[in-house]
Amino acid sequence: MLIHLHIRNLAVVRQLDVDFRAGMTAITGETGAGKSIALDALGLCLGNRADVDLIRADADKAEVSATFQWQSPQAPVAQWLFTEDLTDADDPNSCVLRRVITREGRSKAWINGIPVTVAQLKQLAPLLVNIHGQHEHQLLTRPEHQLQLLDAYARHQHLLDEVSHAYQHWYQLRRQQKQLHQQQADNEARLQLLHYQVSELNEFALGEDEFEALERDHKRLANSAALQEDSAFALNAIFEGEHNNAYSLLQSALSRLEQQLDTDPGLAETVRLLSDASVQVEEAARELRRYQDAIELDDELLLYTEQRMTQTLQLARKHQLSPQQLYDHHQQLLIELRELQESQAASDTIDDAVEQAATLYRQAAAALSASRAQAAAELSERIAVSMQQLNMPHGRFIIEVTHQAQAPATRSGTDAVNFMVTTNPGQPLQALAKIASGGELSRISLAIQVITASQMTTPTLMFDEVDVGVSGATAATVGKLLRQLGESNQVICVTHLPQVAAKAHQQLRVDKVTDGENTETTMVHLDPNERVIELARLLGGDEITAATKANAAELLAVG
């Protein structure tokens, strides 16, 4: 709950420190005194927009801070702080929110002394305070707000999460499906072309580096006769010729020089070289014989090679690349074809996945709708009873939940929620937005806010003059309802009604003080005697008489 609020240089406040207690607290004061300043300051701590116009005229910056405490370490706020690593190590069951705004328009925020973003303040806000404004009834006529109120009352967040997750999953699959179908349509012509091209290249089946091998084979086969003739001449010249072949000449020279080694050992190196040369010539002759035997004079093989080379060149020109690139191009086309075929198969698969996701979403939405219908029946009855207590004895209230199984999907399901009401006997139920009386709408809104607030886990509830348009015995009932709510929640209520203020466990008075040049707003706790005086002022205006004081004392005693 909120235990302390510090305000400095905000609007007409120079400096203000207010302690808050459990139960119901009423804030009263004269019109224009600034009764809502606490709510405005708290709103800044909770992430509301920082307007430089809120800074006091004679100051450069405004500062607000709010201190909260709770009992259970398992409280949602404690869990959030732990997750965000913002827990106060010295006091893990409390937190301090601080906000500073400067004249230059800059804004800074802290949680437990650690700088944070405004977005983080907004995330934390619903775990600490729920603020009900005096214009809440205007929101109440909007279908989306009615749906939010019903869901808050039903407390079926797990069902809302299931619908939201199912919707997100379905939405993502549908987006993928649309992309795949679009790709499939765009790729249809490409797929047909690839089928033709790959089929043609598969039939030709050019091997890796085959064209280079064909070129080498063609060159050899085309020149096989010349190769045969030249190799025969070379073999004859170096080894097989009858006269003066290289090998015979080497052998003769070697034989003579070997005989002279004893005469001059300096010939040894020459002898060694000639001996090696003789061996090399003999080896070369053997290789030439093998080469000659292997030379093919095959016109059919030459024709086949020429035809395959020609086909390769034709296909390469067709694909606008060199024949050396044709094999790699074929492999790339195979990969692209496989990917397109897989994409086509994925498109068929995702159709089934989308259908299954749609079924799961509809099932989750139906479960949510059933929970809403159950909560709507209970909430309708409670609101009708409260309406009758708030001086609408013939009031009837029905929350219609219309579930359309095939309605367009949303994150919040497929239900249409409509608050239907009648306040007079014999009149049919009609939409809340058509209620003519502003006073009736205010009272209905108040009843709904009090009842739905009782279902919320937020520990602190603030009501800003939600009792506008209410008076007399109805006002006393409003006060009673708020006090009952204060038994389980901390309730802070800004009010101008003495019947409501008298029901509070404690009361704060807001005063505006001026010296003719400067104006300041203060807020003080009232003791029982001061409460009587303040209630008397609310009852009778500026002139407080013994009668109004007696009436105020009676109100306070009854409260």
Query: At 3, is the secondary structure helix, strand, or coil?
Result: strand
User: Average pLDDT, stretch 402-419?
Assistant: 89
Q: Which residue has the tokens 């035809």?
A: 307
- Digit-coded pLDDT (tens) for 523-549: 999 999 999 999 998 888 777 888 888
CB atoms under 10 Å from CB of 134, counted, come to 17
Contacts of 147 (CB under 8 A, 6+ apart): 412, 415, 417
Lowest mean pLDDT among 137-151, 291-305, 487-501: 291-305
CA dihedral (450, 454, 460, 462) in degrees, to 10, reads: -10
Q: Identity (one letter) of the amino acid at 541?
A: G
The pLDDT assigned to 424 comes to 83
Q: Is the pLDDT of residue 32 over 90?
A: no
Q: Is the pLDDT of residue 435 over 80?
A: no
- Digit-coded pLDDT (tens) for 6-16: 999 998 888 99
Label residues 35-63 b or e (16+ Cβ within 10 Å = b): bbbbbbbbbbbbbbebeeebbbeeeebbb
Mean pLDDT over all residues of the chain?
86
Lateral strand order in the sheet of 460-464: 129-132, 460-464, 490-494, 24-29, 506-514, 519-525
**C-alpha span between 442 and 391 (Å, rounded):** 12
**C-alpha span between 2 and 97 (Å, rounded):** 11
The pLDDT assigned to 131 comes to 80
The pair of three-digit structure tokens given for residue 329, joined into one six-digit string: 């191009």
What does the radius of gyration of the chain's CA atoms come to, in whole angstroms?
48
The pair of three-digit structure tokens given for residue 396, joined into one six-digit string: 């009837």
End-to-end CA distance of the chain: 23
The pLDDT assigned to 150 comes to 92
The pLDDT assigned to 280 comes to 93
The pair of three-digit structure tokens given for residue 120, joined into one six-digit string: 């983080």
Output the pTM of the full model.
Answer: 0.63
Q: Which residue has the tokens 């070369």?
A: 284
Closest CA to 306 of 187, 421, 221, 181: 221
- Digit-coded pLDDT (tens) for 182-212: 877 777 778 888 888 888 888 888 888 888 8
User: Average pLDDT, stretch 412-431?
Assistant: 89
Q: Calculate the alpha carbon distances from 542 to 394, 471, 525 in Å.
A: 38, 19, 20
Do 65 and 10 contact (CB within 8 A), yes or no? no
Q: Is the pLDDT of residue 136 over 80?
A: no
User: Average pLDDT, stretch 99-119?
Assistant: 93
Q: How crowded is the C-beta side of 378, counted as CA atoms within 13 Å?
A: 14
- Digit-coded pLDDT (tens) for 338-347: 887 777 666 6
- Digit-coded pLDDT (tens) for 439-454: 677 778 778 877 877 6
C-alpha 499: how far from chain center: 48
pLDDT confidence of 120, banded at 50, 70, 90? very high
pLDDT confidence of 227, banded at 50, 70, 90? confident
* Domain span(s) for CATH 3.40.50.300 in the chain: 1-128+459-521
The secondary structure of residue 206, as a DSSP letter, is P
CB atoms under 10 Å from CB of 428, counted, come to 7
The pair of three-digit structure tokens given for residue 231, joined into one six-digit string: 């190799």
Across 143-152, 162-171, 425-434, 467-476, the highest mean pLDDT is recorded for 162-171
**C-alpha span between 177 and 166 (Å, rounded):** 16
The pair of three-digit structure tokens given for residue 332, joined into one six-digit string: 């790339």
The pLDDT assigned to 297 comes to 67
The pLDDT assigned to 380 comes to 94
Contacts of 373 (CB under 8 A, 6+ apart): 401, 403
pLDDT confidence of 388, banded at 50, 70, 90? confident
pLDDT confidence of 135, banded at 50, 70, 90? low
- Digit-coded pLDDT (tens) for 138-170: 677 888 888 988 998 898 999 999 999 999 999
In sequence order, what are the beta bridge partners of 508?
27, 525
- Digit-coded pLDDT (tens) for 320-334: 989 889 899 989 989
Q: Is the pLDDT of residue 471 over 80?
A: no
User: Average pLDDT, stretch 108-133?
Assistant: 90
Do 332 and 381 contact (CB within 8 A), yes or no? no
Q: Identity (one letter) of the amino acid at 366?
A: A
The pLDDT assigned to 147 comes to 92
**C-alpha span between 416 and 505 (Å, rounded):** 40
How big is the chain, counted in residues? 559
Selecting from 2.60.120.10, 3.40.190.170, 3.30.1450.10, 3.40.50.300, what CATH number does the domain 1-128+459-521 have? Answer: 3.40.50.300
pLDDT confidence of 45, banded at 50, 70, 90? very high
Q: Identity (one letter) of the amino acid at 250?
A: L
**C-alpha span between 281 and 247 (Å, rounded):** 6
The pLDDT assigned to 438 comes to 65
Q: Which residue has the higher pLDDT, 468 or 163?
A: 163
Q: Is the pLDDT of residue 368 over 60?
A: yes
The secondary structure of residue 409, as a DSSP letter, is P
Q: Which residue has the tokens 């104006």?
A: 519
